[in-house]
């Protein structure tokens, strides 16, 4: 009998659970059926996989087979999940991984337009940083990814937005007052007057001071709504793009330092399996 994936799955489950009974419960099969499958696998391989009949210790060959069984069953399960997901795509699931500022500023308008023509489609949104967005798209864990980047830093995906980075601070606080005194010609050095609420966008500003403030920061947040809430409560100031704070809440001020002006890009990519299923989902 030739080796089959189900044999490897049974062997893996027995090796990981340690007994035929536990494996039988996990796989919803009888212990005798599990034992027969193991015997068939051992016969096909031509050597024992367990040290004793108690199935609690693997032979060196058994350890190698366990590693290969894990690899084979994991790959199969991932492929099966992808097939099932794409099979129901006509009903509609779109998975979007986006940086927090895009989730706040960009996605609401896009989703509003899309739902008019596809009200039955389920949209799942992950609010993560740029490296996590890239990983999810590469692993086919997201259909669409939206990342932040410096202008000219990358050509990946499609450019969908370029806006200014600026300082967001509490109304009436030290930074806000200093900005008013400067007559609107202030620079990034104003950030030294308050604690920095660190976030990944801070790294897009080329400034030794900001590098120092990032290293000494005792508060970091990635969610734009959380950052604005912390700023409003007087915990410090941060760096955000204009689009994410253009409808800023009361008690928060935003301005773009003129020395130097820094920009960020939002870029969209999509998984190779997404194709053109939903052309109406445009940015």
Q: Bridge partners of 95? A: 124
Tally helices (H) and strands (E) across the chain.
Answer: 11, 9
Q: What is the pLDDT of residues 210-246, one digit of tens each?
A: 999 999 999 999 888 899 999 999 999 999 998 888 7
Q: What pLDDT shows up at residue 276?
A: 57
Beta pairing class for 238-241 and 158-170: antiparallel
What's residue 168's pLDDT? 95
Q: What is the pLDDT of residue 2?
A: 77
For residue 271, pLDDT over 80 is answered with no
34 pLDDT more than 70:
yes
Q: 51-55, 85-89, 154-158: which range is least confident on average?
A: 85-89
User: What would the two tokens of residue 197 be?
Assistant: 């609420």
Q: What's the pLDDT tens digit per position in 100-139?
A: 889 888 898 889 888 888 888 888 999 999 999 999 988 8
With cut-offs at 50, 70 and 90, classify the pLDDT of residue 80.
Answer: confident
pLDDT in tens, 178-187: 998 888 778 8
Q: What is the pLDDT of residue 147?
A: 93
Question: Which ranges of 149-264 would DSSP assign to H, the alpha helix?
Answer: 174-182, 208-216, 224-232, 242-245
SS3 234: coil
Per-residue model confidence (pLDDT) at position 195? 96
Domains of the chain by start residue, with CATH: 5-87 (1.10.10.10), 93-159+266-270 (3.40.190.10), 163-263 (3.40.190.10)
Q: Which of 60-64, 154-158, 266-270 has the lowest mean pLDDT?
A: 154-158
Portion of the chain with pLDDT greater than 70, in percent: 91
E runs forming strands in the chain = 93-98, 122-127, 144-149, 158-170, 197-198, 219-220, 238-241, 252-255, 262-270
**What local confidence, expressed as pLDDT, does residue 154 receive?**
78
pLDDT at 244: 85
Q: What is the pLDDT of residue 11?
A: 94
50-68 per-position pLDDT tens digit: 987 777 789 999 999 999 9
Question: ∠ CA(76), CA(78), CA(83), 5° rounding?
Answer: 90
Residue 165 clears pLDDT 90, i.e. is over it: yes
pLDDT band at 30 (very low <50, low <70, confident <90, very high): very high
- Between residues 237 and 248, the one the model is more confident about: 237
User: Any idea of the CA torsion for 108, 113, 115, 117, to the nearest 10 degrees?
Assistant: -170
Percent of the chain with pLDDT over 90: 50
- Are the CB atoms for 25 and 34 separated by under 8 Å? no
d(CA 167, CA 186): 11
95 exposure class (CB count in 10 Å sphere: 0-12, 13-18, 19+): buried
Q: CB 242: neighbour CB atoms within 10 A?
A: 19
Token readout for 42 is: 């051992």
């Amino acid at each position: 009998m030739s080796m089959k994936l189900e044999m490897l799955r049974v062997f893996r489950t027995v090796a990981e659970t340690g007994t035929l009974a536990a494996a039988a419960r996990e796989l919803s099969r009888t212990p005798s059926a599990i034992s027969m499958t193991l015997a068939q696998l051992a016969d096909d391989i031509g050597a024992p996989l367990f040290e004793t009949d108690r199935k609690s210790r693997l032979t060196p060959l058994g350890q190698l087979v366990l590693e290969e069984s894990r690899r084979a069953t994991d790959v199969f399960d991932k492929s099966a999940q992808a097939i099932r997901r794409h099979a129901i795509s006509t009903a509609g699931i779109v998975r979007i991984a986006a940086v927090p500022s895009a989730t706040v500023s960009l996605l609401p308008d896009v989703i509003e337009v899309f739902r008019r023509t596809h009200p039955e489609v389920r949209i799942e949104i992950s609010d993560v940083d740029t490296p996590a967005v890239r990983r999810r798209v590469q692993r086919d864990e997201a259909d669409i990814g939206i990342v932040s980047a410096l202008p000219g830093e990358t050509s990946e995906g499609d450019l969908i937005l370029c806006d200014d980075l600026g300082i967001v601070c509490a109304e009436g606080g030290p930074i806000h007052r200093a900005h008013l005194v400067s007559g609107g010609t202030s620079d990034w050095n104003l950030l030294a007057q308050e604690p920095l609420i660190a976030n990944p966008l801070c790294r897009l500003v080329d400034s030794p001071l900001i590098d120092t403030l990032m290293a000494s920061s005792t508060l970091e947040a990635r969610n734009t709504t959380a950052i604005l809430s912390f700023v409003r409560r007087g915990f410090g100031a941060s760096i955000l793009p204009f689009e994410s704070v253009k409808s800023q809440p009361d008690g928060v001020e935003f301005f773009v330092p003129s020395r130097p002006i820094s920009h960020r890009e939002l870029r969209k990519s999509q998984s190779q399996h997404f194709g053109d299923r939903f052309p109406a989902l445009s940015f």
